[in-house]
Amino acid sequence: MKQNYLNILAKEILACSVTPVTKVRFAKIIYFVYKSLILTKFVDNQQIAFIRMPLGPVADGFMDLSTDKDIEITTDNIGLLYNREKYSLKSTASINTQTGHQVQRILSQLENISTSKLVAISHMEPSWINNSNGQKYYIGPEDLALSLPMSNGSVLLDEAIDNQLIQSKLVSGMIDEIVMDSSALEHPEHYSN
C-alpha cells in the first residue's frame, strides 16, 4: 500500500511537470508535495515513509520507481553522477488522480526554487535533523509545523552552480557523519543508541 501510493504520487507529479525532473529534485519534490497533501488532509502521514539521506529525505521505495511501467528514466552524460537521471511520465501512461489540482498548485510554488535550496530547506526539517543517515521515519507533527518553501519570485540558479551547491551539501553531510562515527569510537558513552 505505501509503495503503491508513492508510485501514484510520483506519477501525479510527473504528469504536472512540463519537463523531465532530475533525481535529486524529484526526491525533494515528492517530499514537499506529500507534506503539503498531509497538511491539507488529502492523505495521512503513514502513506509514505522517508529515509534520511545526506541530501535530505528520500521516499522509501524511491529507487523502485524505476520499475514502474509508466515512468521513463533517461540519463544525461554530464553533471553530477548521482543526479544524471531524469524522470518523466511515458506518453502512453494514463493516470487517474484526485489530487492533481493540489499537486499542480504545490509544484507552481516550488518551480523557481533551485534544487540546492530545496535540499537546504529539507535539512531544516526536524525529523531529518533528529535521525541518522539511513534511518526510516514518517513526517511528524514537528515537520508539519514548518511552512512549505515558496518561490517568492526567485530565479533559478545556473545548473552548474546549483550542482556545485548540491555537491557541497553532500560532502558536508558525509564529513559530519565521519566525524560523528569517529567521535562515537572515542567516546561511546555519548553516542549510544
Q: What is the pLDDT of residues 60-113, one digit of tens each?
A: 999 999 999 999 998 877 655 555 788 999 988 777 767 777 888 888 888 888
Q: How far apart are CA 188 and CA 181, in angstroms?
A: 10
Q: Could you tell me if 144 and 39 are in contact, meaning their C-beta atoms sit under 8 angstroms apart?
A: yes
Residue 139 pLDDT > 80: yes
- Going by the DSSP 8-state scheme, the letter that residue 92 receives in this structure is T
Report residue 56: phi and psi, to 5°.
105, 180
What's the confidence (pLDDT) of residue 35? Answer: 95
Q: How far apart are CA 125 and CA 128, in angstroms?
A: 5
Q: How far apart are CA 160 and CA 131, in angstroms?
A: 30
* CA atoms in the 13 A half-sphere facing the CB of 53: 18
Q: How far apart are CA 104 and CA 101, in angstroms?
A: 5
What's the confidence (pLDDT) of residue 115? Answer: 83
As a whole number, mean pLDDT of residues 171-192 equals 59
What's the confidence (pLDDT) of residue 1? Answer: 38
pTM of the model: 0.77
What's the confidence (pLDDT) of residue 10? Answer: 93
